[in-house]
Amino acid sequence: MKKQNLHTTIMHNEKKIIENPQGKSILHLTYASPLGKVMRWVLTGKLISKLGGMLTRSRMSRYAIAPFVKKHAINLDDFQIPTTGFHSFNDFFIRTIKPKCRPIATEPDALISPCDSKLYVIPTLTQESIFFVKALPFSLATFLGPTHNASPYTHGTLAIFRLSPNDYHWFHMPAPGTPRPATLIPGRLHSVNPLVYKKNIQPLITNQRIVIPIDLDNGTSVMMVAVGALMVGSITTTYQPNTPVPTGSPLGYFAFGGSTIALLFPHNTIRINEELCATSNQGIETVVQMGQKVGSLYAPTTKKEYL
């Protein structure tokens, strides 16, 4: 049987390029083969994630670091490396970055990318919103879980930051504010590759995720949702809840695998950069780095006009 095309198009440095996804054979087996539905139940469960986690935390796994770095041309000079080196592949995977390598946008109204990722924007979210290619049902209440009130975010803006396995996997504050306690929502661990949306699967509301409410200093309440993915059974938060922190402050990290950070804003409280919206309207993600300005928050004096 001929394999389906698993490539996706992304925008990088204002050029469209073809992304060859990590784990292409697993993606094909799980989402594009006749056995897919059966395999999904096994591969997207927590057991496989736990086994993968055990493997990547083993001492032997450190021998996979050098080939991975070479294959993906990762510049290790950007990262803080322990004097004794990385003890496992997972230690390497959750490596921390040197602050000077990810400068933080300094404009008072700046919204920054919370992570290194590919960004896709839905400026006005509805149940008919287009996720990459296909219209999929999207429930805000399901996305945020029973603990959080979804109504303030009706017709809000959703920014989806997709991380690949070779990315820096910490996530940070998108603007100055106070992160509140996180809430875990159990779920499966589907891949977050755009191919999955094309298969009529909505990982944002089916995958395990952690919801972090953030009260920004300008009065806007934002929902940050860390979404687990295939081979990502561990999302670790490192912040102190209810403590004000500046833009760019680290909030947590993902263990091995691809994953997603989603930011959800109330209607008309954020203005995403026009070029990012235009690219997303074509069904294309844009490569961004942590600290890069991706939008502007409305000033406190004008925000009330839009609520």
Is 221 among the catalytic positions?
Answer: no
Catalytic residue among 88, 164, 259, 280: 259
* CA distance linking residue 270 with residue 221, whole number of Å: 11
State how far the alpha carbon of 30 is from the alpha carbons of 131, 193, 235, in Å.
20, 12, 23
Burial class (CB in 10 A: 0-12, 13-18, 19+), 297: buried
Buried b (16+ CB within 10 A) or exposed e, 80-103: eeeeeebebbbbbbbbebeeeebe
- Residues contacting 74, CB < 8 A, separation 6+: 68, 166
Task: Name the token pair of 51.
Answer: 């086994």
Question: Catalytic residue among 172, 190, 234, 280, which?
Answer: 172
> SS3 for 225?
strand
Q: Which of 116, 117, 148, 164 is catalytic?
A: 116
**Tokens read off for 64:** 């996979």
Residue 28 is among the residues annotated as catalytic for this protein: no
Question: By CB neighbour count within 10 A (0-12 exposed, 13-18 middle, 19+ buried), where does 128 fall?
Answer: exposed
Per the annotation, the verdict on 117 as an active-site residue is: no
Q: Give the residue numbers annotated as catalytic, written as ranges.
A: 116, 172, 259
